[in-house]
A and B are shown apart, each in its own frame.
Chain A
Amino acid sequence: MTRKKEIRRIDVDYLARVEGEGSLRVKVVDGAVGDVEFGIFEPPRFFEAFMRGRMFTEAPDITARICGICPIAYQMSSVHAMEAAVGVTVGGQLRALRRLIYCGEWIESHALHVYMLHAPDFLGYQSAIHMAADHRDIVERGLRLKKAGNSIVGVLGGREIHPVNVRVGGFYRVPTKTELLTLVDELEWGRDAASATVRWVAQLPTPKIEMDFELVSLSHPGEYPFNEGRLVSNKGLDISAAEWNDVFAEEHVARSNALHSRIKGRGAYHVGPLARYSLNFDKLRPLAQGAALEAGLGPTCSNPFQSIVVRSVEILHAFEEALAIIDGYERPEAAYVPVTPAAGVGHGASEAPRGLLYHRYRLDDDGRILDAQIVPPTSQNQLTIESDLRAVLEANLDLPDAELGWRLEQTIRNYDPCISCATHFLDLRIERSTS
């Protein structure tokens, strides 16, 4: 005798509050999770291809256009790669200014995600604008935090989105001490508001799930990583950026216009705030470290739903770091280290707000780009996002479809996916069937 077939299907046509668009296909057969595919359909833009033949000095301006949310990350990874290729090192105050502008981007991007994109999930709102109807003061605090981060990027970079002031070797123009001091009052407010943010997100209702990730991030002996360091993991990885292609492999699958990245011989891994935090907790500045412990985090974190807390801790760290950099700033005489074109290969890895961003370029004698390779954080996290989706599905099959669908969206948003670096249209579909 055959059972009557029961098919349950959930269609959530749009995944909102992510940067870019993609698709999710989930199948549940007889209560068991079947295929889980997180697809990326952002139309390809071919940056790596059309950069061939362009001058090495153009890379920071061109690659910034890969992502309007994290242009500094692209500018930083590209200038480090180019400087490595032509044999130049940038240190002192110029290096400090690079960290400062990165602080601005982390604050702006993380505040956007924590308040506008992620928090509404925890409280059941469609958007931060809906949330503002009940929590106006909180949303206003988030917007002001975001603006404080943007003000750093604006002063140092010329504008918030696609800043103009970063160049290979340093900057076009370095700010005066007075210009940076105008930021201090707002950054001090921001530091306090970031502490309050950590306390606020720590009490949000958070799904409990622990994942056994291989966490990968930069690690630097003296500081929480932005621009420099070795690539390390909690499972023994310890390499320089130049060894990237020995360890990581990218593969192209039908469901995605982004290349999937994996560690050769091991598979999926995780980049982003959780990885940075868990591998560099001891390098956080004191207030950030204290706030993390007070919020109930340990020195490592493997619950992706707590990424909102870790991001908030990183916002606080970035405010402390920015204030310290401004305090110690003395305007350097030269805005940049001169660079001369030379043939060579250069690698650069820096920590974008949403995780490790790797660039590699090969240059000819004139400094023209022969080939380019760019590995954004979201393509590195794709496989891990799929394994999270599977785990969250398995733990929540008893939820009604609408709630389960929203929980899966939230699972994706845990990663603050920069699908612009990757996707087109997130069409979420859960198919349940019994056979």
Chain B
Amino acid sequence: MAVHSPILRKPTLAVFKFASCDGCQLSLLDAEDELLAVAEVIDIANFLEASRDVRPGPYDVTLVEGSITTAHDAARIRRIREESKFLVTIGACATAGGIQALRNWKDVSELTALVYANPGYIDTLDTSTPVSSHVAVDFELRGCPISKGQLLEVVTALLQGRRPAIPTYSVCVQCKQRGTACVMVAEGIPCLGPVTQAGCGAICPAYHRGCYGCFGPMEAPNTEALSAWWSRLGVDDRGLVDSYRGFNAWARAFRDASDRHEAAITIRGATP
């Protein structure tokens, strides 16, 4: 892999983890065919999951996995921003708050008591928020998990000084590219594909299930039209709330759509 970097020395890469499952940084190690070649042109200066060799910043490219859920982490991400030339968030947690953002609709002290016998030992914020709620982010890479092809594209593009070529259209486009018949039209399977950003390669419909929104909302999604379609397929408001409240629940468009349907449940509950 040839990287024609405007940076004369070997560019440095750092990877940091916040509240997450480790899956997105694993994508780097899952690039089995490219890893050793990447390591020849990029200096992996701080990647704890892979190496004890940890060097201090500044770093040319910093990849951040995970959402911000503690006061300690809110301070840590600010320090990391200061020592990073390009800061890229990788995955739904870092970019949208992740599945753990479901806490944002609940009383966190109650959640803590449900899981832990001694809630006093637990230090946590009331919300799980994306990195962009705390510091400026140079590029947000979507996905739960990210696509390793997109990860390599973003790192390469930044080091070459160009904008990463990451599409913002919907999963539907990738279904067409893949030659998959629309599961919603042909079989009445509810699918989030029309409002979800492409990037996964439209896997779910090819496996005979509806998209469940791993890459978050596409640019300007029409959730109202999609919800109406789902209703005709027999999905009620509660089902719609759950569907929008997945791994990208706190992403604006999905959050608003879920709140809309939750309000509809409440209104019907109040006026039988």
Does B52 contact A58, Cβ atoms closer than 8 Å? no
Does A172 contact B207, Cβ atoms closer than 8 Å? yes
Residue of A with least CB distance to B204: A164
Does A127 contact B114, Cβ atoms closer than 8 Å? no
Does A146 contact B212, Cβ atoms closer than 8 Å? no
Chain B residues in 8 Å Cβ range of A253:
121
Does B23 contact A143, Cβ atoms closer than 8 Å? no
B: number of interface residues (CB 8 Å): 61
Does B200 contact A159, Cβ atoms closer than 8 Å? yes
Residue-wise interface mask of B (211-251) relative to A, using a CB-CB cutoff of 8 A (1 in contact, 0 not): 01010000000000000000000000000001000110000
Does B51 contact A127, Cβ atoms closer than 8 Å? yes
Does A46 contact B111, Cβ atoms closer than 8 Å? yes
- Alpha-carbon distance A308/B54, docked complex (angstroms): 24
Chain B residues in 8 Å Cβ range of A20:
17, 22
Chain A residues in 8 Å Cβ range of B112:
44, 46, 49
Residue of A with least CB distance to B102: A50
Give the segment of B3-11, B32-40, B133-141, B164-172 that binds chain A.
B32-40
Give the segment of A59-67, A195-203, A297-305, A315-323 that binds chain B.
A59-67
* Total residue contacts A-B, CB cutoff 8 A: 187
Chain A residues in 8 Å Cβ range of B242:
54-55, 58
A252 within 8 A of B: yes
B-contacting residues, A402-435, CB 8 Å: 409, 420
- Alpha-carbon distance A160/B128, docked complex (angstroms): 26
**Contact pick for A129, options B44, B69, B122, CB 8 Å:** B44
Distance (Å) between the CB of A347 and the closest chain B CB? 19
- Alpha-carbon distance A48/B100, docked complex (angstroms): 11
Residue of A with least CB distance to B116: A252
Distance (Å) between the CB of B213 and the closest chain A CB? 10
Give the segment of A10-18, A211-219, A271-279 that binds chain B.
A10-18
Instruction: Summarize B's interface: helix, strand, loop or mixed.
Output: loop
Chain A residues in 8 Å Cβ range of B264:
none
Does A43 contact B19, Cβ atoms closer than 8 Å? yes
B27 within 8 A of A: yes
A: number of interface residues (CB 8 Å): 67
Chain A residues in 8 Å Cβ range of B17:
20-21
- Alpha-carbon distance A158/B200, docked complex (angstroms): 10
- Alpha-carbon distance A116/B26, docked complex (angstroms): 12
Residue of A with least CB distance to B189: A172
A353 within 8 A of B: no
- Alpha-carbon distance A46/B39, docked complex (angstroms): 36
Does B30 contact A252, Cβ atoms closer than 8 Å? no
Chain A residues in 8 Å Cβ range of B99:
45, 47, 50, 62, 65
Distance (Å) between the CB of B240 and the closest chain A CB? 13
B194 within 8 A of A: no
**Contact pick for A19, options B22, B30, B200, CB 8 Å:** B22
Distance (Å) between the CB of A344 and the closest chain B CB? 20
Does A420 contact B51, Cβ atoms closer than 8 Å? no
- Alpha-carbon distance A130/B145, docked complex (angstroms): 27
Chain B residues in 8 Å Cβ range of A165:
207, 209
B contact set with A: CB distance below 8 Å: 17-24, 26-27, 29-30, 32-33, 35-36, 39, 44, 48-54, 69-70, 73, 98-100, 102-103, 106, 108, 110-112, 114-118, 121-122, 124, 128, 144-145, 200, 203-204, 206-209, 212, 214, 242, 246-247
In the complex, the 6 A-B pairs of residues with the closest C-beta atoms, listed nearest first = A68-B23, A127-B51, A126-B53, A49-B111, A420-B22, A50-B102
- Could you list 26 examples of A-B contacts with CB < 8 Å? A14-B52, A15-B48, A16-B51, A19-B22, A43-B19, A43-B70, A44-B122, A47-B99, A48-B115, A49-B103, A49-B110, A49-B114, A61-B246, A66-B21, A68-B26, A129-B35, A129-B44, A136-B36, A140-B36, A165-B209, A172-B204, A172-B207, A172-B209, A254-B121, A371-B114, A409-B52
New A-B contacts (19) at CB < 8 Å, excluding given A19-B22, A129-B36, A158-B207: A16-B53, A17-B50, A17-B51, A21-B48, A43-B19, A46-B111, A46-B112, A46-B114, A47-B100, A50-B111, A68-B24, A69-B26, A129-B35, A146-B30, A158-B204, A161-B30, A162-B23, A173-B209, A257-B121
